[in-house]
Chain A
Amino acid sequence: MLQKGVFDVEKIRQDFPILQRKVMGGKPLVYLDNAATTQKPLSVINAISDYYTNYNSNIHRAVHQMAEEATIAYEETRKKIAKFINAKSTDEIIFTRNTTEAINLVAYSWGRANVKKDDRVVITEIEHHSNIVPWQILTQEKGAKLEYVGVGDDGYLKMHEYRNYLDSNKVKLVSVSQMSNVLGTITPVNEIIRSSHEKGIPVLIDGAQSVPHMPVDVQKLDCDFMAFSAHKMLGPTGVGVLYVKRDILEKMPPFMGGGDMIKEVHKYETRYNDLPYKFEGGTPNIADVIGFSAAIDYLDNLGMDRVREHEIDITKYALDRISGVKGVTVYGPANAKDRGGVVSFNIGDIHPHDLATIMNDHGIAIRSGHHCAQVLMERLDVAATSRASFYIYNTKQEVDKFIEALDEARRLFKI
């Protein structure tokens, strides 16, 4: 099946029922909106259906057989995830609804306990709203200050600004995306984490784009927190993961109070549950966590090194082809090795929403808008961009179709 370094994409496509679908009056679907959410292989869909069909029960409490099966399947997923990102222990893996909730958990629990008046929280201009707004809320509440590391016109972070912030000796937390959802930029998180740690500052990595697309090892990185979402890596919506280093997690106050996160509840006091359950109040999204398990298996089978290699290959091809289209401005690093499989661009005076409408006519799904990164849009001085983003099942032929549709847009708008 495997050629050297790259996998058999046609075979992979057979595993995704939706990719057989026709849209817009009979056109094959060309799905290039993977940074928003990826499609799901049949194994994931079946795992969810199997749970509801055969062993639907609540977990952790009841003693009947199905509850036991469900609990095992749920906890097996936690083990797989711990292994997937190389966490030291399953106790460090907390299930949330999504990356947003994972980051909010850190802001509300760790942040409220640790960030004080006049402290600084450092983020960057490339962040998704989910890694901006929680820190705005926290710093405003505490009278602390939110600082941004800028991004250069070349799409790389201005690391000297970051070092200057560290030198202020007021920074309490650094929170940065490992891969921009707009520019694709892979940020120098190794350097960021190392230099923050020299000052004793913990670092949160927003892995929403990186974990699905490249090998990520939290122990090697030595990050303190990492957040990512299942639905951007073949899994279902409604499941996110927060990784927290054990010694930090042990000191964190609970986030949401309720069932399952407790050992004993009395009228006026509660003894909280052990890690990681202390942070998973209420019945979790059992079915989708189990579905996520099948997604991890799928990616493990392919190998994340190969996933990354495939994306470099297709991104390189896309960057190469799009640079030949008249009137196009591409954002982000020019070198495919420094970016994920995301190509954001504008063409002439065509608004991205108009371009997306024209693409849709051709059965091509791209994203248009601010991509939940309005701070970055302001920095780029654009209202919006168009974005094509790739995953394991995308082919160079699809990139060709995308380029043809761009030419059609140029014709319609007379560019």
Chain B
Amino acid sequence: MSDDIYREIILDHYRNPRNKGKMAEADVSIHDSNPLCGDEIDIHLKVDGDKIKDIKFEGRGCAISQASASMLTEMVMNKPLTSVKDLTKDDILENIGLMNLGPARIKCALLSLKVLKLGMVKYYADRDPDSAKKLQEDSRTL
């Protein structure tokens, strides 16, 4: 099983994360952690119109949480907010190629999506309260 998890691509994103670092003048910055594991993720967003113009993450934790965050940033870069808003748990698991994670490790894989959704809650709070509310609910299921 571990052979399936710790594939080359996961280790590559873990050791050479994409879009990792701070962001000057982000439109939204948000932090969350997984109390079970202590995995931590910060996400910074720059939004242009209805598009994610730039995304960066900072964090520390296991290979799954950090690789998943790195891959998520690539997935949503330059994408319209409307499509990012609807990303699901399965989209993420498919993206990182780990469909069979146990209940404990799945939290690691989904932490970055949770943080991204919470960031969008913040972004939509005044602009579109209904979307903010739905995203807030979404984030609770992750």
Q: Among A64-72, A297-305, A351-359, which stretch is in contact with chain B?
A: A351-359
In Å, the complex CA distance between A358 and B6 comes to 9
A358 adjacent to B36 (CB under 8 Å) = no
A354-B62, A383-B60 known; A414-B37 Cβ under 8 A: no
A369 touches B37 (CB 8 A): yes
| 8 A Cβ contacts from B1-58 to A | 1-3, 5-6, 11, 15, 36-39
Q: Within the complex, which residue of B5, B11, B60 is in contact with A357, where a contact is CB–CB below 8 Å?
A: B5
From the candidates A354, A384, A414, name the one contacting B38 in the complex (CB within 8 A): A384
Does A361 have its Cβ within 8 Å of any Cβ on chain B?
A: yes
B69, CB-defined interface residue at 8 Å: no
- Return B99 CB to nearest CB of chain A, in Å: 16
A414 surroundings in chain B (CB, below 8 A): 11
Tell me whether A247 is interfacial, beta carbon within 8 Å.
no
Pair A353/B108 contact, Cβ less than 8 Å: yes
Q: Contacting B62 at CB < 8 Å: which of A353, A370, A374, A412? A: A353
Known: A353-B108, A369-B36, A414-B11. A361 touches B1 (CB 8 A): yes
CB B84 to nearest CB in A, in angstroms, measures 27
Report Cα–Cα, A374/B35, bound state, in Å.
11
B83-112 residues at the A interface, CB under 8 angstroms: 105, 108
Instruction: Return chain B residues, CB-CB under 8 Å to A409.
Output: 2
Whether B5 contacts A370 by the Cβ 8 Å rule is no
The number of chain A residues touching the other chain, given as a range, is 20 to 34
Indicate whether A357 sits within 8 Å of B105 (C-beta atoms), given known contacts A351-B62, A369-B37, A412-B6: yes
Q: Is A413 an interface residue (CB 8 A)?
A: yes
Asked if B115 is at the interface of the complex by the 8 Å CB criterion, the answer is no
Chain A residues near B39 (CB-CB < 8 A): 353
Contact (Cβ within 8 A) B2 A412 = yes
Which of A351, A412, A413 has the most chain B CB within a 10 Å cutoff? A351
Instruction: Give chain A residues whose Cβ lies under 8 Å from the Cβ of B5.
Output: 357
Bound CA–CA A279/B31 (angstroms): 42
Question: A349 an interface residue at 8 Å Cβ cutoff?
Answer: yes
Q: Across the A-B interface, how many residue pairs have beta carbons closer than 8 Å? A: 44
Shortest C-beta distance, B96 to chain A (Å), equals 14
CA distance A291 to B140 in the complex (A): 39
> Interface digits, A347-391 against B, CB 8 Å rule (1 contact, 0 not)?
001111110011001000000111000100000000110000000
Bound-state Cα–Cα, A369 to B65, Å: 14
The answer, yes or no, to whether B63 is at the interface (CB within 8 Å) is yes
Q: Which residue of A lies closest to B8 (CB)?
A: A414
Let me know if B80 is at the binding interface, CB within 8 A: no
Chain B residue at minimum C-beta to C-beta distance from A25: B1
Decide: A351 near B63, CB < 8 A? Known: A370-B38, A384-B38: yes
Q: Within 8 Å CB of B36, what residues of A? A: 369
Residues of B close to A350: CB separation below 8 A = 63
Let me know if A361 and B62 touch, CB within 8 A: no
Given contacts A353-B105, A369-B37, A384-B38, whether A412 and B61 have CB atoms under 8 Å apart is no
Q: Which of A353, A374, A408, A413 contacts B37 (CB 8 A)?
A: A353
**A24 and B2 alpha carbons, distance in the complex (Å):** 12
Do A354 and B60 touch (CB < 8 A)? no
CB of B132 within 8 Å of the partner chain: no
- Of chain B, the residue at the smallest CB distance from A352 is B62
CB distance from A262 to the nearest CB of B (A): 38
Give Cα distance in the complex from A167 to B62, angstroms.
44
Query: Shortest CB–CB separation between residue A365 and chain B, in angstroms?
Result: 13
Contact B61 A413 (CB under 8 A): no
Task: Tell me if B118 counts as interface (CB < 8 A to partner A).
Answer: no
Contact with B along A315-353 (1 / 0, CB 8 A): 000000000000000000000000000000000011111
Of B2, B15, B37, the residue contacting A358 (CB under 8 A) is B2
For the complex, is B72 an interface residue (Cβ under 8 Å from A)? no
Task: Determine whether the beta carbon of A354 is less than 8 Å from that of B37.
Answer: no
Residues of B within 8 A of A353 (CB): 37, 39, 61-62, 64, 105, 108
Whole-angstrom CA separation of A358 from B63 in the bound complex: 12
* Residues of A close to B61: CB separation below 8 A: 351, 353, 383
Q: What is the distance, in angstroms, from A219's C-beta to the closest C-beta of chain B?
A: 40
Least Cβ–Cβ distance between B8 and chain A, in angstroms:
9
Residues A361 and B2 in contact, CB atoms below 8 Å apart:
yes
Question: A369 touching B11 by the CB < 8 A rule?
Answer: no
A354-B64 contact in complex given A370-B38, A413-B6, A413-B11, C-beta closer than 8 Å: yes
> Measured between C-beta atoms, what is the minimum distance from A24 to chain B in Å?
8
Q: Which residue of B lies closest to A409 (CB)?
A: B2
Question: Which A residues lie at the B interface, using CB under 8 A?
Answer: 24, 349-354, 357-358, 361, 368-370, 374, 383-384, 408-409, 412-414
Q: List 14 A-B contacts (CB under 8 A).
A: A351-B62, A351-B63, A352-B62, A354-B63, A354-B64, A357-B105, A358-B6, A361-B1, A370-B38, A374-B38, A383-B60, A409-B2, A412-B2, A414-B11
Tell me the B residues contacting A by CB distance below 8 Å.
Answer: 1-3, 5-6, 11, 15, 36-39, 60-64, 105, 108
- Sorted nearest first, the 9 A-B pairs with minimum C-beta distance are A351-B62, A353-B62, A358-B2, A412-B6, A354-B63, A361-B2, A354-B62, A361-B1, A383-B60
